[in-house]
Chains A and B, each alone.
Chain A
């Protein structure tokens, strides 16, 4: 019986990631719609979209190679695998040992790599444009991400996500106080906006070739391949949101496997993710998309913030 629990936890976490991600996408769209005084589509519209896409016959460009059809599966697989490495509503992740936070970052990078290749494969200029832009945005986000991760890891004394979250959930004051934490949070939030293709870096709602990044790479996709890519993008967004809420605000996460704790953990998790999705929706409505060559400045600011977080960590500690 005991040995089943980890497997059950992994399966539940997998199911939650798959099921919840379209909802988060729908929620952000709804928030934006309401702020624009529209009623907006139903919160469950992304599910319907995915179901529809899966039932459509895909059209594949005849200039492509096997990379084009394999990429959606690889992108999907790497994103899902990354999602399984982090704690979601229970601080103990059974797969904690399989990879720490660096492994998570690099798994997502594996997806990015194949996404970029997929964008190039169809041979249209739009795909290449998207790939080229994705490459620069992903590149610049990386150092800021690594440093902010490190300053969090130092506070918890671990780079394993489960340990980080578990430690900070047990420690009372740690989440509220240190300025190091706040700066790391700000840096990671900027990185999240860049990595998941949100405004002001990219606009998920655009289909104007001059402004799009992520959508440009997916331009030639249709049917089940597009569904997998869209779904993976949703999961990636959820992974980043989960990372932020659990690392910086782990209150309420289940630190034991008692049914009551799990129930509370699940509810609190859903609430926190919804709140963060709301924030993203508001930000998307308030800001205009930046010019591509202004994005480095924003990510540079994130890098400086994370560097300051590190300096503060060491100097304020003693």
Chain B
């Protein structure tokens, strides 16, 4: 274990240091940086698996001269699981970057990007390994800052710098709340060690613990993108280069999920009132629904995907929230099920979201635009990218037999099992959350039918799309790896569930692997096979057999009739791409049905011919949806801050002497207070 860990750290550090040594040779820099990152990703996968299978958590710590800070590392199953998730996506994104960055040779510093990426991956890996609050916060900050620098890689493009700044502010608001959380635990224990957090000498009063619950939710929620703290996500994630977007959306936001599980289940020891879990459930439902709804209205492919991250974080929270509610009432096995469902969705989302972001990157690489309205017909021009993107789309829409289906199904089951709860209120609320999850799933299906259909099918809508060609091999390998992973995670829950069980068992006090896997692992059945079960391998087999049957029938009847190819009927005109349905048009009925949420505004300017108002000279159509949270929540806060800053300007005279006086006075006051 030690060798693995040291090796992993060494490769990442080499990945940070080495690339700048090959100055002027962009290709070699790229190869070194991302080759090392891929190697580290592989090592991290091995380390994660080893940590999951190890009987005891592995720990190491070095004390430092700074009070309360010790460089402590603890590889327990929870940390191992997240190391595994980070490494898998890191591996795929690095391989993808080998080809993807070729476009930027000579335009951006490949060495800097490579070093930063390795540093970012290293920081994320260490965040989940850290076993000391201080150390954790430093790494958390490093992770946030490095990702900020990566986001503004292409800072010459419009909007990128603003997106980066927005992200920087939001992530620091989050960090502030995480610091508060840890300070409350410090109150409790007098130490910053996670070990002490876990076993406090005396429990804090309920009220203070509830404050810690909320500060943790806000702090980590800002990173995870829980509504209403999600607003930065659709700006920042798309602004980054696509392999970085894949890492940010696929795994960085998951470090926040890690933080929440660590704080609630590990530190709080699973003792919480029912309304904590309920709060998570509500946050999850709202995030899931609003995430997917805003995604539907988005026509920038990468922003669309970013909104879907909000949705999927919501689904993960639904599993976690259900788990916490069950835990409150001592239903430990169901608590384990809820948490397991959430974790299963975590790794699934990492796989398919990273895949989709890489796919979006590949499409952008080939067409130089992110607007879905300018795509079309790409499947014939980029068959591999298209097929991989389709796998991702089917997975995120939770359709059988892919991985998204398995984890969403598990979340459904844990919500359905609410009839075992003692209060009527919760008995009703959990099924309603399930119904909202069903709505979310259906909207996600519509959204990805739009995203895939408008981008890859029919005729190209612009010359960019018409001239697109398939991307280089390394990019296809990166996507193919993740696509394969989506399928494996879907077809082989019998491999995944026992591993996840090792994570949830210590946290909830119930091992459920042998219960969940029935019939030699072929069936996933949370309670019994009689109550509910699915078997994705059998479902896949059924689909193949039934499809083959269709093929056979078609053959038997039709003998060997070939097909004739002819242009689509265009009502007597030649069919042009302008006759196709657009993404905006596709989503229009949904916009109209849910107009209370979207609050769309439509502006139509028409200029008529003088002779007759039946002939329009030209017209201009504008349509917007209201960014509700930005308008009603963020703008007032920003206005307040600006007004306050305006007032405070009085003490900012710009004179050095004055500032020195401030410092002196403060010092005197502090000394007085201390004495």
Contact = CB atoms under 8 A, between A and B. Distances in A.
Tell me whether A and B are bound partners.
yes
Interface of A: 14, 51, 54-67, 69, 72-74, 76-78, 80-81, 84, 95-100, 102-103, 106-107, 109-110, 112-113, 116-117, 120-125, 127-129, 131-133, 135-136, 138-147, 150, 153-154, 157-160, 163, 219-220, 223-224, 227-228, 292-293, 296, 303, 306-307, 310-311, 314-315
Contacts of B424: 314-315
21 contacts: A54-B554, A64-B458, A65-B457, A73-B550, A80-B550, A95-B538, A97-B535, A98-B542, A107-B539, A109-B441, A117-B449, A117-B457, A120-B458, A123-B579, A124-B579, A135-B450, A144-B435, A146-B412, A146-B438, A153-B416, A314-B427
Contacts of A99: 400, 533-535, 538-539
B568 A81 contact: no
A58 B565 CA distance: 9
Contacts of B448: 113
Nearest to B540: A81
**What's the interface size class on B, roughly?**
35 or more
B416 A123 contact: no
Contact of B557 (A55, A112, A150): A55
A233 to B, nearest CB: 14
A34 B18 CA distance: 82
B352 interface: no
Given A60-B563, A65-B380, A120-B457, A139 B547 contact: no
Contacts of A103: 400, 409, 534, 539
Contacts of A132: 581, 585-589
Contact of A121 (B416, B457, B529, B544): B457
A135 B565 contact: no
Interface string B456-470: 111100000000000
A146 B436 CA distance: 9
Contacts, number: 286
B554 A310 contact: no
Contact of A138 (B434, B445, B533, B542): B445
Contacts of A59: 563-566
Interface in B559-575: 561-570, 575
Interface stretch (B391-399, B474-482, B655-663): B391-399
A97 B558 contact: no
Contact of A131 (B431, B558, B577, B581): B581
B142 interface: no
Given A14-B549, A106-B399, A135-B446, 12 more contacts: A54-B554, A73-B547, A77-B542, A97-B519, A106-B400, A112-B445, A113-B394, A123-B577, A138-B446, A139-B446, A144-B435, A310-B428
* Majority SS at the chain A contact face: helix
Contacts of B441: 106, 109, 142
B553 interface: yes
Nearest to B390: A67
Contacts of A310: 428, 431
Query: Top 10 A-B pairs ranked by shortest CB distance?
Result: A128-B581, A54-B557, A123-B458, A77-B547, A146-B438, A120-B453, A142-B442, A135-B446, A77-B546, A80-B546
B38 interface: no
A143 B436 contact: yes
Contact of A98 (B535, B554, B563): B535
Contacts of A139: 439, 442-443, 445-446, 590
Contacts of A116: 446, 449, 453
Given A57-B562, A143-B435, A158 B567 contact: no
A293 B586 CA distance: 15
